[in-house]
Amino acid sequence: MSIPERVQSIVEKLQTSANVKTVYGEPIKVDGKTIVPVARVSYGFGMCSCGKKGEEKEQTERDRQACGGGGAGLTIRPAGVLEITQTETRFIPIGMGRKLAGALLFGLLLGVLIAGKRSKRD
């Protein structure tokens, strides 16, 4: 299998893994609302091939196929939910607690630093 064929094979496998159902999930109907889970999907791949300089003509097809490698990775993380009602659709993010806690901690530390510098002036 040639390098372009290997890359195409990896890309096709990743595309089937990261489809719409994987990203959005199955809708859930509750109390007149439709809840659709949403995920963040990212993927990447890499490939290498080796060959001896100046000896490419002497290599057999089997040697060229045996020399090389590749890999792929796929990450799926929950991002939130879409809440769909008769009057509106809104996105509710998941995991904002950590960001909010980080922002509060940063503000607290900044306040302590400013208060410490003011007390040194007096």
Write the DSSP assignment of 24-44 as a string of letters: H---EEETTEEEEEEEEEEEE
Label residue 99 by pLDDT band (50, 70, 90): confident
**What's the rounded mean pLDDT across residues 87-106?**
82
Give me the residue spans of the domains in the chain: 3-94
pTM of the predicted model, to two decimals? 0.49
**Separation CA 70–CA 7 (nearest Å):** 9
**What pairs with residue 8 in β-bridges?**
none
What is the reported pLDDT for 84? 93
Who wins on pLDDT, 26 or 57?
26
Contacts of 26 (CB under 8 A, 6+ apart): 37
Q: Does residue 60 have a pLDDT over 70? A: no
**Separation CA 63–CA 81 (nearest Å):** 50
**What's the rounded mean pLDDT across residues 54-83?**
68
Q: Does residue 44 have a pLDDT over 60? A: yes
Q: What's the pLDDT tens digit per position in 4-41?
A: 777 777 777 767 766 667 677 788 898 889 998 888 87
